[in-house]
Chains A and B, each alone.
Chain A
Amino acid sequence: MYETIAFYLFSALTIGLFLITVFSKNVLYAMTSLAAGMVLISGFFFILGADFLGVVQLIVYVGAIMALYSFAMMFFDSTKSIKEKNTNPALIFVLGGLSALSLVLMFAAPIYNESIQALYPMHEGVGNAQDVGIVLFTKYLIPFEVAAVMLLVAMISGIILAGKKMDQSLTKDTCVDDEILIKKDVK
């Protein structure tokens, strides 16, 4: 009963918040609603019994990623609202609706097919975190390590890209850049 109430509540809130994220003209609003939506999604995870995933969602998304966004926003002028020439809304709704419909159909299809079997079943009486740990460090060890390396690479590249010497281009010859800028000014 509580689960049903929680589900509908969370669903309504999440959809509302994400709609704000997508349609808002203000970056700050968009980001705040995105962070709130992510907290609610971790709520979904808790309902589903994926405690560890929910915690990771909170820490990584709401903690780290949102912090990164807010830091990044300090570079940009985020106080004024964004002016965009948005794409034709009819197209967006048609595409969005169609993709939603077909995705639902596709997700639903194999579920009514009874032939799905658990590859790594959960164990009774063992906590979710422990269960996840066992599978992650046995069956998914190599992907886990690769993910670790990937995060390291991403971290280093993020630092280099946003690092101090950003007045110099990393990919292009600066002289060429200047020439391009000069040409643009002439136009």
Chain B
Amino acid sequence: METLVYIALFAPFASSLFAALFGMSPKQTFVGIVASLLLFASFCASAMLAFHVWTTGAGIHVTMMDWISAGDLHIPFGFVVDQVSVTMMTVVTLVSTVVHVYSIGYMDHDKSFNRFFSYLSAFVFSMMILVMSDNFAGLFIGWEGVGVCSWLLIGFWYHKEDVSREENPSISPSWAANEAFIMNRIADLGMLIGLFILYWNVGSLQYDVVFAALPDLSGSVLNAAAIALFIGAMGKSAQFPLHTWLTDAMEGPTPVSALIHAATMVTAGVFLVIRANPLFSMTPEVSYFIAALGTFVAFFAASMALVNRDLKRIIAFSTLSQLGYMFAAAGLGAYWIALFHLAAHAFFKALLFLGAGNVMHAMHDELDIFKMGGLKKAMKWTYIYMGVASLALAGIPPFAGFFSKDAIIETAFNEGTLFLWVILVVTAGMTAFYSFRQVFLTFEGDERYKAFGIHPHEMYKYVLIAMSPLAILAVIAGFAQGTFEHFVTKLLPDYHMSEHTHHLSMMLGLIVLAFAVGGIVLAYRKYYKGLKRDKKLENSFTYKLLANQYYIPNLYEAIITKPYAMLSEMMWKDVDMKIVDATVDGIAKFLYKSGDASRKMQTGNLSNYLNWMAVGSVFLLVIAVISAMFV
């Protein structure tokens, strides 16, 4: 079993190193194939581990080697495979295998093909470390590792020029990459502080030791640690107010968006909350805040998705919204439901993104859904995939999203937080509307793309086949709810609906369903026949507010970026140039001048040299005498 753990962990690493060997050379298809095979091996190992954990019910704990041993600090490179981590491992490796195969087709014409696979596999490796580590330090390493890979991949097309915010809201890939990286650094500071608090009070970073010691800690320490850790989770999972990076991260290649910014990395924050559930269950105030913030973000992001015209951004907003759902569930104490939604969401969101990638490929990188329409003739399979994924996202039975999302909404009702419940239900309706608005605008109605002289074509066959596991899972994953609950609640606290809720569950489900269907019907009525633009609506204040993401990016720019740039310029011109540089230049000038002056000593005349030597030795003698006198 230990071998399987190492295969699951290091196969992506091997794949990354292998692809890196060819990083600078032109496209080699076999690099992609080898990487995909290694990822598949990692997936198989994860699946076998999952089966093992399922049958035995016990986790596997391996310690590879000592990592840090300094004084009392002792951190091993340990990995734990239990119900939670094996779920994450299977989801991550499955989605990444599909994405790797998909990328062979998608990145077909890109000249940095090999480099892309190197980064992608490195990301999977970091993610595996993140989920498998048995201590917070290892988790942090994986956390930073996925941050770096995310930065590399968002900025993959770093050569694109910066443009104005009106033209492209995320300015340029390199800008978006930096934004994502910096925002995550801000949050990581919170996470680090949380780790320090835990280490300071417990003296260890091992999960089991820390969780065992939690009851002995005071309430304020627990609250501080929970808040600090959640700030870290907020950054990685792009929760308000650190959410702007996620939509801008869509500048990266679409497989990256599917893998990192939908299915895996952004769920790391949720994973952290689930992993540290003993801590969060002991801090009800913080947990309630998490739930409230999650609900707010779910609604907030869905509202922005309503009016957006960019295919990938709509999906990105929906990712944000679904992450909000997960946090709501985790905050309300239904950790296994959060994990279940995480897994189900990973499947259909990755599928949705890959479908969007197909559309993008067909439309020659055009992303404006107002310029598409009627693509179903050219791209039947993509239409089916995206339709399935959207149904799952909208929460229509029997698709995966229905079960998981319904469970979350039911939890909100069960906890008596009716306000949250109402918002979550309304958000479910909005989700259905914006997903089908996008599907209809893209695939149905008049063929608006013809005006731009684009000839769309379906994606390669093998790519479509590679996507099928995700489609199947998006359809059937929901039925595994009971099994999944049984599986993970061996580790996570079980969460049951009360009798009262249980009685009402049918009705509650119907309410949610009604909102979802209502949203779809609205989208159908408005957009199925084609695009009819309503100038009055588009010029209204609300529409503009939503389309500009509540002006939050502009606000950040005005109150943070610009003053900081001004401050930097001031420091550069006044402090750096006038003090630091001047000092350095002064030293150099002094050396030059003294060299010029002392060059005259070099007369070539031995007698002069002897004089200088005598001056020097007399000088030394005098110093020796003086120092001897005073010692």
Distance of B11 from chain A, by nearest CB (Å): 70
Q: Which residues of B contact A122 (CB under 8 A)?
A: none
A105's partner among B611, B615, B625 (CB-CB below 8 A) is B625
B511 within 8 A of A: no
In the docked arrangement, what's the CA distance between A87 and B625, Å?
A: 27
Give A86-102 as 1s and 0s: 1 = Cβ < 8 Å from B's Cβ atoms. 01000100010011001
CB <8 Å contact, B607 and A102:
no
Are A102 and B611 within 8 A (Cβ)?
no
With CB as the reference atom, state the residue of chain B lying closest to A103.
B621
Asked whether, in the complex, the Cβ of A87 is within 8 Å of the Cβ of B607, the reply is: yes
Interface pair B614/A99, CB less than 8 Å apart? yes
Contact of B606 with A by CB under 8 A: no
| CA gap between A99 and B620 in the complex, in Å | 10
Provide the residues of chain A in CB contact with B70, threshold 8 Å: none
> In the complex, what's the smallest C-beta–C-beta distance from B613 to chain A, in angstroms?
10
Contact check, B622 vs A98: say whether CB atoms are below 8 A apart.
Answer: yes
- Cβ B625 vs Cβ A99 within 8 A: no
Chain B residues with Cβ under 8 A from A99's Cβ?
Answer: 614, 617-618, 621
Asked if B614 and A102 make an inter-chain contact with CB atoms under 8 angstroms apart, the answer reads no
User: Do the beta carbons of A95 and B618 come within 8 Å of each other?
Assistant: yes
- Chain B contacts for A105, CB-based, 8 A: 625, 629
* Residue A116 is within 8 A (CB to CB) of chain B in the complex: no
Per-residue 0/1 for A73-111: is the Cβ within 8 Å of any B Cβ (1 yes, 0 no)?
000000000000001000100010011001101100100
B451 at the interface (CB under 8 A from A): no
Assess whether B624 is interfacial by the CB under 8 Å rule.
yes
Contact, CB under 8 Å: B628 / A98: no
CB distance from A116 to the nearest CB of B (A): 16
Interface residues on B, range: 10 to 19
Which of A87, A102, A103 has the most chain B CB within a 10 Å cutoff? Answer: A102
Set of chain A residues within 8 Å of B615, measured between Cβ atoms: 95
Contact B618 A98 (CB under 8 A): yes
Among B622, B625, B628, B629, chain A packs the most CB atoms within 10 A around the CB of B625
How far, in whole Å, are A87 and B629 apart by their CA atoms in the complex? 32
How far apart are the CA atoms of A95 and B611 in the complex, in Å? 9
A109 partner residues in chain B, CB cutoff 8 A: 628
Docked complex Cα distance between A44 and B172 (Å): 94
In-complex Cβ contact of B618 among A87, A102, A106 (8 A): A102
Please indicate the chain B residues that have their CB under 8 angstroms from the CB of A102 in the complex.
Answer: 618, 621-622, 624-625
Does more than half of chain B's interface fall in helix, strand or loop, or is it mixed? Answer: helix
Min CB gap B544→A, angstroms: 88
Contacts of A87 in B (CB 8 A): 607, 611
Measured in the bound complex, the distance between the Cα atoms of B607 and A105 in whole Å is 28
For the complex formed, measure the closest distance between the CB of A5 and the CB atoms of chain B, giving whole angstroms.
33
Nearest A residue to B610 via CB reads A87
Name B623's closest neighbour in chain A (CB-CB): A102
User: In the complex, what distance in Å separates the CA atom of A105 from the CA atom of B617?
Assistant: 15
A99 to B616, CA, bound (A): 11
Q: Which residues of B contact A98 (CB under 8 A)?
A: 618, 621-622
When distances are taken between beta carbons in the complex, the residues of chain B under 8 Å from A103 are 621
A95 to B614, CA, bound (A): 7
Question: Which residues of chain A are within 8 angstroms of B607 by Cβ–Cβ distance?
Answer: 87
A102–B623 Cα distance when bound, in Å, is 9
Looking at the assembled complex, report how far the CB atom of B621 sits from the nearest CB atom of chain A, in whole angstroms. 4
Once the chains bind, are A106 and B614 in contact (CB under 8 Å)? no
Residues A106 and B611 in contact, CB atoms below 8 Å apart: no
Minimum C-beta distance from B481 to chain A (A): 95
Which residue of chain B lies nearest to A110 when distances are taken between CB atoms in the complex?
A: B628
State the Cβ distance, B538 to closest chain A Cβ, in Å: 91
Set of chain A residues within 8 Å of B622, measured between Cβ atoms: 98, 102
Bound-state Cα–Cα, A156 to B124, Å? 79
Give the residues in chain A near B625, CB-CB below 8 Å.
Answer: 102, 105-106
Residues of chain B within 8 A (CB-CB) of A95 are 611, 614-615, 618
For the complex formed, measure the closest distance between the CB of A138 and the CB atoms of chain B, giving whole angstroms. 34
* Whole-angstrom CA separation of A142 from B611 in the bound complex: 36
Complex interface residues of chain B between 574 and 627 (CB less than 8 A to chain A): 607, 611, 614-615, 617-618, 621-622, 624-625
Residues of A within 8 A of B611 (CB): 87, 91, 95
Complex CA–CA separation, A87 to B615 (angstroms)? 13
Chain A, 104-129, CB within 8 A of any chain B CB:
105-106, 109
CA distance A109 to B629 in the complex (A): 9
Smallest CB gap from B622: residue in A = A102
CA distance A131 to B622 in the complex (A): 38
Distance between A80 CB and nearest chain B CB, rounded to angstroms = 21
Q: How far is the CA of A95 from the CA of B615 in the complex (A)?
A: 7
Of chain A, the residue at the smallest CB distance from B614 is A95
Q: Which residue in chain A gives the minimum CB-CB distance to B608?
A: A87
Residues of chain A with a CB closer than 8 A to B614's CB: 95, 99
What residues of A have a CB within 8 angstroms of the CB of B617 in the complex?
99
CB distance from A95 to the nearest CB of B (A): 5
Q: Binary interface profile of A, 42-76, with partner B (CB < 8 Å = 1, else 0)?
A: 00000000000000000000000000000000000
A103 to B628, CA, bound (A): 12
Q: List 19 interface pairs A-B (beta carbons < 8 Å), by A numbering.
A: A87-B607, A87-B611, A91-B611, A95-B614, A95-B615, A98-B618, A98-B622, A99-B614, A99-B617, A99-B618, A102-B621, A102-B622, A102-B624, A102-B625, A103-B621, A105-B629, A106-B621, A106-B625, A109-B628
Can you list the 9 inter-chain pairs with the closest CB atoms, starting with the nearest? Answer: A102-B621, A102-B625, A105-B625, A99-B618, A98-B618, A95-B614, A95-B618, A102-B622, A109-B628
Not counting A87-B607, A106-B625, a sample of 19 additional A-B residue pairs whose C-beta atoms are within 8 angstroms of each other reads A87-B611, A95-B611, A95-B615, A95-B618, A98-B618, A98-B621, A98-B622, A99-B614, A99-B617, A99-B618, A99-B621, A102-B618, A102-B621, A102-B622, A102-B625, A105-B629, A106-B621, A106-B628, A109-B628
